[in-house]
Chain A
Amino acid sequence: MQVLRPQTTADTLRLLADGGEDTKIIAGGTALMLMMRNGLVMPEQLVSLDRLSELDRVTVEPDAVRLGALVSLRSIERSAELATVLPTLSAAVGLVANHRIRQRATIGGCVSEADYASDPPAVLTTLGCEVHVVGIGTQRWIPLSEFLVDYYQTVLQPGELVTEVRIPRPSPTARTTYLKYISRSAEDRPCVGVAAHVDLDSSGRCTDVRVAVAGATATPFTVVAATEACRGAKPDKTAWDEVAAAYSAAISPIGDARGSAAYRKHVTGELVRRALQTASTGTENGAFRL
């Protein structure tokens, strides 16, 4: 097997085009190496992104944050600036696996892997994240919710590369929370995770409620009708109970070693309620491990 290490995006795209079917991109390798070891993918050629320093950049703009695909989860978690601008994302990233994994894992790899049992995509979904996909002579911005298609599947075409993700700055009054529920031992992936975003107007009524569920379905799960129905409502238990009930009723979760489908359905309702409650009544934005 050959490992190629291009230094520019243009060279990377060329190598991907030349390589064809049996070429795989490798970023941090934390997911890909496991897939290779388990014989799920058997690439003949790897295009490593490790020398693409142009993709290892964090840019904080007035209305958005742009994270290069090669930015590691560890540097997202440790950036003081991101902790201020995107506190819940930064804290949620800090709950992924362990620091050894986060040191290697990249944000581009995280979204491209499209593993259902992931934390950051749910938070990114509530934040309205977009993914920048480039090919030879093509480039497009795609909302993360459309980028992720199914279990381990994205809209990426062969030869395409994720170069960065763009996250709009949340409203300054938005209250955000991520609850990561782990059903087994401490460093596990989520059984169910819930990202909640609650924005209120000056009279204390809901203006913008968003909830995305991680770990239970192929891609982050939302029931937009249920959260939109909160507009104008008081952010109280009655409202949250309704959203929770709607999520629990609508979700068709996967059953796996972390919990059966029925169990996840129950836990989804439980956690949606708690996440909204924490977001609306808690004193700090952030992420919590349960």
Chain B
Amino acid sequence: MIQDNIDNTAGAGIPNPNRSIPVATGPTVGQPVDMVGARARVSGRVDFALNAVVPGMTHARLLRSPMPHARISSIDTSAAEKMPGVVAVLTAADFDRPGAPARYYGAVLRDQPVLCGEKVRFAGDPVAAVAAETEEQAAAALLEIEVDYEPLPAVGSVAEALAEGAPLVHEKPPLPREASYADIKFHGREGNVCTKFQLRSGDVEAGFAAADHIFDNTYHSPAVQHLTMEPHVVLARFEGERLTVTSSTQAPYAVRDTLAEMFGVASSKVRVIVPPIGGGYGGKTYAKFEPVTAALAWKARRPVKLVLPRDEEFLSLTKHAATIRMRTGVSSDGKLLARDVQVYFDAGAYTDISPRLIKNGGYSTAGPYAIPNVRIDSYAVYTNLPPAGAYRGYGVSQAAWAYEQQMDEMAEALGIDPVEFRRRNLLTEGERFATGEIMREAHWRELLDRTAEAIDYDTDRRVVVDEHRVRGKGVAVILKSTITPSTSHAAMRLDADGSLQVLTSSVEMGQGAHTVLAQLAAQPLGLPVSAVHVTEPDTQYTPYDQTTSSSRTTRAMGGALTSAAHVIREKLLKLAGDLLEVSPTDLELADGQVVAKGSPGVRMSVPEVFRRTRTGSISGDGEVITSGGLDPETGQGIASDHWHQGAAAAEVEVDLGTGKVYVRHVHSIAHAGRVVNPKLARLQMHGSTVFGISHALYEELVYDEGILTNPNLSDYSITAMGDMPAQLEVEFLEDEGEAEIHGLGETTLPPVIAAIGNAVRAAIGAPVRTLPITPERVLEARNS
């Protein structure tokens, strides 16, 4: 449902039509079940795509551009083709002919070439691919491909890309894909602006006029890489015109659709199989290396497997670098009156999912606060750098880095306690967010209070430890949306022995999705988790799911499964009711038995119901289809089917001589509604904390003239065990009784970054507005 005729000045607000099926704690839901296959993961017996082998398989390597922007004048592959073991060499010339695949792909705009033809747009853009009997032979053949480049002036940052007369990354704005996503709209596509999102709520100028203080600050977050333990892996093979792809993707259906469009075949001709994957974090969402591997298999007429080397992982996709200028008007009693934000997300060379990310990241800059007058302009800007896309936190880390830092800066200037300042402005039940939607299940105040209390924020906010070291404390609170509208379908089959097959396209990527889905499927049917098998996503059998991303699986797929389980339950109770001569509504399921409520003697085992009715299996389908969408001019409407709410607090120690920050204590908390598996939920939150520390202090992709200077794990720094705080705590806020499930895979990542930033500011008495907070930046901030 797209909201029309929105009065964006009125206080009424837009009610959110989305609800999910409430779930109660029971025999399986809410239990700390071990992750299914945990042992196999630890002992290395999980069958990742990395291990996939098929007869006749060849190995692929990609030749990449050494230049950030250049015209390709010629490519000569003749020598490479004669190299030992080489089966096929693929270039742009192989595409867009009768019977050949299309060369451009993209989830939203079809602007990314599988292999570059006319020009390259970033240092690392693929220009050729080789399939050979061994990976070494493929690598050797790459050295024999001759490419002549004519260098073009490049844009290495958003500022360069938006400068007057800047070279264009895409000469013509690429065309939108017909079958893109319902929530994505386009705006202001000219020059190097890929697209823009805008939000207009209230009267910003009047808000500033009424304000006693106006704060105007700019905050910066760098690009970082996902660094999944398992790289991108694709194995593609044709049988006739049927294409089967085994891939480490988070989005099997998006990959299927991309490949079907690319080869001009019905989607039934493309089968995408996803084994358990070794981490995603957004980096494996939408088609990535499936197109090039499939095209190579098509040309080689042999199966082809691509395992991306680590240095090329760094060129695959990044978190968006972002520069956010935030102007906020406040009354002297600490009420936020107006906010005007310009957000510049560096999209890199190709669109990928930027149009959605800059929208979600854009409206998120309003923060979890009731601000009556808001103007946001959020841009995705093309540059000659590796493409940016989905990354755990989805634009909210960058947004929260800006607004939560500024909250503390403003509180200090106003002389108001930072927690109290936030409390005066946090959204409460029934209040309007900047998009006009009415917030429900609003828990921000409680989250903030609990996290502040956990680090004893009120006392010793700044402590001098010794002649070198000071300690400081900080808090942060955030809101995050989930993809809206979105769609998940599930199917289930109860077999005659009482075991359950769950068919889902949700991907198990180490987050424990399949365990949690088994718990949700088992409960309505009175089954133990051990009676449930959750299948691997396989587009030939498992029903459609939009993506495994956006912290949506437990709620969305879990909801679809719960519906499907109820369908089966009703059919089963109907059969049993006829046999037991009891109305189905008077029956319940427990421990594999159908039992009459109140007369436990009247019962029958599930297998017996099947036997006596000669039923072979009972199937059920379920779905969750959410609605929403924002007006392209005003950004008013339903941004999120439900809101992720989180907060974090940190205590750090800063060495004033070196400027180094040591994290001592991190607490984070998320509103969970109902926790399905406390053990796995905690691990998700631990993961967010580790990412948060890493982004706050260490991670950054460094480019020099458009060339990545740190594409390896010795030059690129990430959190190690030794960096973990002595105290690391996570907490959930759960609702009583039957409650809706809220996603929590990302919720506490953004506030951990911002809380560390605020703790550093408290310690040194000056803000560091650029991430990561390196020792050098700390000293600079302190000395300025």
Q: Which residues of A contact B (CB under 8 A)?
A: 34, 38, 98, 181-189, 257, 259-260, 263, 266-267, 270-271, 274, 289-290
Q: How far is the CA of A243 from the CA of B710 in the complex (A)?
A: 35
A-facing residues in B288-321 (Cβ within 8 Å): none
B710:A290 contact, CB within 8 angstroms: no
A263:B775 contact, CB within 8 angstroms: yes
Task: Give the top 8 A-B pairs by smallest Cβ distance, nearest first.
Answer: A186-B722, A184-B717, A186-B720, A270-B657, A187-B720, A186-B723, A185-B717, A185-B698
Sample of 13 more A-B contacts, CB < 8 Å, known A98-B720, A183-B660, A189-B714: A34-B714, A183-B658, A183-B775, A183-B776, A184-B698, A185-B718, A185-B720, A185-B723, A186-B722, A259-B775, A266-B779, A270-B658, A290-B658
Is B575 part of the contact surface with A, judged by Cβ < 8 Å?
no
Which residue of chain B is the closest to A34 with respect to CB atoms? B714
Listed A/B pairs (14) with beta-carbon separation below 8 Å: A34-B714, A181-B658, A183-B658, A185-B694, A185-B698, A185-B717, A185-B720, A186-B719, A186-B723, A187-B722, A259-B776, A263-B775, A270-B657, A274-B468
Which residue of chain A is the closest to B715 with respect to CB atoms? A257
Q: CB-CB < 8 A to A187: which residues of B?
A: 720, 722
A186:B721 contact, CB within 8 angstroms: yes
Q: Is the interface of B mostly helix, strand, loop or mixed?
A: loop
Is B697 part of the contact surface with A, judged by Cβ < 8 Å?
yes
Chain A's nearest CB lies how many Å from the CB of B779? 7
Q: CB-CB < 8 A to B718: which residues of A?
A: 185
Contact indicator per residue, chain B 721-745, by CB within 8 Å of chain A (1) or not (0): 1110000000000000000000000
Q: How far is the CA of A266 from the CA of B720 in the complex (A)?
A: 26
Which residue of chain A is the closest to B774 with respect to CB atoms? A183
Q: How far is the CA of A257 from the CA of B709 in the complex (A)?
A: 9
Which of B697, B710, B712, B779 touches A185 (beta carbons < 8 Å)?
B697
Q: Is the interface of A mostly helix, strand, loop or mixed?
A: loop
A267:B658 contact, CB within 8 angstroms: yes
Which residue of chain B is the closest to A273 with respect to CB atoms? B657
Which residue of chain A is the closest to B310 with respect to CB atoms? A37
Chain B's nearest CB lies how many Å from the CB of A216? 13
Which residue of chain B is the closest to A183 with respect to CB atoms? B775
Q: How far is the CA of A174 from the CA of B98 in the complex (A)?
A: 82
Is B781 part of the contact surface with A, judged by Cβ < 8 Å?
no
Is B702 part of the contact surface with A, judged by Cβ < 8 Å?
yes
Which residue of chain B is the closest to A192 with respect to CB atoms? B658
Q: Which residues of B contact A (CB under 8 A)?
A: 468, 655, 657-658, 660, 694, 697-698, 702, 709-710, 712, 714-715, 717-723, 774-776, 779
Q: CB-CB < 8 A to A188: which residues of B?
A: 717
Q: How far is the CA of A271 from the CA of B658 in the complex (A)?
A: 9
Q: CB-CB < 8 A to B698: which residues of A?
A: 184-185
Q: How far is the CA of A260 from the CA of B655 in the complex (A)?
A: 18
Q: How far is the CA of A186 from the CA of B660 in the complex (A)?
A: 12
Q: How far is the CA of A31 from the CA of B714 in the complex (A)?
A: 11
Which residue of chain A is the closest to B694 with respect to CB atoms? A185
B776:A263 contact, CB within 8 angstroms: yes
Q: CB-CB < 8 A to A289: which residues of B?
A: 722
Chain B's nearest CB lies how many Å from the CB of A35? 11
Q: CB-CB < 8 A to B719: which residues of A?
A: 185-186
Q: CB-CB < 8 A to B715: which residues of A?
A: 257
Q: CB-CB < 8 A to B776: which residues of A?
A: 183, 259-260, 263
Chain B's nearest CB lies how many Å from the CB of A283? 16
Q: How far is the CA of A188 from the CA of B699 in the complex (A)?
A: 13
Chain B's nearest CB lies how many Å from the CB of A101? 11
Chain A's nearest CB lies how many Å from the CB of B728? 15
Which residue of chain A is the closest to B772 with respect to CB atoms? A184
Q: How far is the CA of A185 from the CA of B468 in the complex (A)?
A: 20
Q: How far is the CA of A17 from the CA of B698 in the complex (A)?
A: 45
Q: CB-CB < 8 A to A274: which residues of B?
A: 468, 657
Determine which residue in A98, A184, A188, A263 has the highest number of CB atoms from chain B within 10 A of its CB, and name it: A184
Q: How far is the CA of A98 from the CA of B718 in the complex (A)?
A: 14
A263:B779 contact, CB within 8 angstroms: yes
Chain B's nearest CB lies how many Å from the CB of A230? 21
Q: How far is the CA of A181 from the CA of B775 in the complex (A)?
A: 11
Determine which residue in A34, A185, A186 has the highest number of CB atoms from chain B within 10 A of its CB, and name it: A185
Q: How far is the CA of A289 from the CA of B658 in the complex (A)?
A: 13
Q: How far is the CA of A259 from the CA of B779 in the complex (A)?
A: 12
Determine which residue in A34, A182, A260 has the highest number of CB atoms from chain B within 10 A of its CB, and name it: A182
Q: How far is the CA of A271 from the CA of B657 in the complex (A)?
A: 9
Q: How far is the CA of A288 from the CA of B48 in the complex (A)?
A: 41
Chain A's nearest CB lies how many Å from the CB of B1? 46
Which residue of chain A is the closest to B710 with respect to CB atoms? A257
Chain A's nearest CB lies how many Å from the CB of B700? 9
Determine which residue in A260, A267, A271 has the highest number of CB atoms from chain B within 10 A of its CB, and name it: A267
Q: How far is the CA of A260 from the CA of B468 in the complex (A)?
A: 21
Q: CB-CB < 8 A to B779: which residues of A?
A: 263, 266
Q: How far is the CA of A175 from the CA of B694 in the complex (A)?
A: 37
Q: How far is the CA of A189 from the CA of B715 in the complex (A)?
A: 10
Chain A's nearest CB lies how many Å from the CB of B222? 13
Q: How far is the CA of A70 from the CA of B479 in the complex (A)?
A: 56
Q: A185-B723, A186-B723, A187-B722 are in contact. Are A257 and B657 (CB under 8 A)?
A: no
Q: CB-CB < 8 A to B723: which residues of A?
A: 185-186
Which residue of chain A is the closest to B697 with respect to CB atoms? A185
Q: CB-CB < 8 A to A185: which residues of B?
A: 694, 697-698, 717-720, 722-723
Determine which residue in B655, B702, B775 has the highest number of CB atoms from chain A within 10 A of its CB, and name it: B775
Q: CB-CB < 8 A to A186: which residues of B?
A: 719-723
Q: CB-CB < 8 A to A184: which residues of B?
A: 698, 717, 774
Q: A184-B698, A186-B723, A257-B702 are in contact. Are A290 and B714 (CB under 8 A)?
A: no
Q: How far is the CA of A183 from the CA of B710 in the complex (A)?
A: 16
Which residue of chain B is the closest to A98 with respect to CB atoms? B720
Q: CB-CB < 8 A to A271: which residues of B?
A: 657-658
Q: CB-CB < 8 A to B709: which residues of A?
A: 257
Q: How far is the CA of A11 from the CA of B702 in the complex (A)?
A: 46
Chain B's nearest CB lies how many Å from the CB of A85? 27
Q: CB-CB < 8 A to A263: which residues of B?
A: 775-776, 779
Q: How far is the CA of A190 from the CA of B720 in the complex (A)?
A: 15
Chain B's nearest CB lies how many Å from the CB of A38? 8
Q: How far is the CA of A289 from the CA of B722 in the complex (A)?
A: 11
Chain A's nearest CB lies how many Å from the CB of B128? 19
Q: How far is the CA of A160 from the CA of B110 in the complex (A)?
A: 58
Q: CB-CB < 8 A to A260: which residues of B?
A: 776
Which residue of chain B is the closest to A264 with respect to CB atoms? B776
Which residue of chain A is the closest to B713 with respect to CB atoms? A187
Q: CB-CB < 8 A to A38: which residues of B?
A: 712
Which of A189, A257, A290 touches B660 (beta carbons < 8 Å)?
A290
Which of B655, B702, B720, B774 touches A290 (beta carbons < 8 Å)?
B655
Which residue of chain A is the closest to B776 with respect to CB atoms? A263
Q: CB-CB < 8 A to B720: which residues of A?
A: 98, 185-187
Q: How far is the CA of A182 from the CA of B655 in the complex (A)?
A: 12
Q: CB-CB < 8 A to B774: which residues of A?
A: 183-184
Q: CB-CB < 8 A to B468: which residues of A?
A: 274
Which residue of chain B is the closest to A289 with respect to CB atoms? B722
Which residue of chain A is the closest to B309 with respect to CB atoms? A37
Q: CB-CB < 8 A to B694: which residues of A?
A: 185
Which residue of chain A is the closest to B693 with respect to CB atoms? A185
Which residue of chain A is the closest to B698 with respect to CB atoms? A185
Q: CB-CB < 8 A to B657: which residues of A?
A: 267, 270-271, 274
Which residue of chain A is the closest to B722 with respect to CB atoms? A186
Which residue of chain B is the closest to A187 with respect to CB atoms? B720
Q: How far is the CA of A290 from the CA of B720 in the complex (A)?
A: 15
Q: How far is the CA of A274 from the CA of B467 in the complex (A)?
A: 11
Chain B's nearest CB lies how many Å from the CB of A134? 31
Q: How far is the CA of A186 from the CA of B663 in the complex (A)?
A: 12
Which residue of chain B is the closest to A182 with respect to CB atoms? B660
Q: How far is the CA of A259 from the CA of B698 in the complex (A)?
A: 12
Chain B's nearest CB lies how many Å from the CB of A57? 31
Chain A's nearest CB lies how many Å from the CB of B118? 29
Q: How far is the CA of A68 from the CA of B678 in the complex (A)?
A: 53
Q: How far is the CA of A257 from the CA of B703 in the complex (A)?
A: 12
Chain B's nearest CB lies how many Å from the CB of A244? 11
Q: How far is the CA of A188 from the CA of B775 in the complex (A)?
A: 14
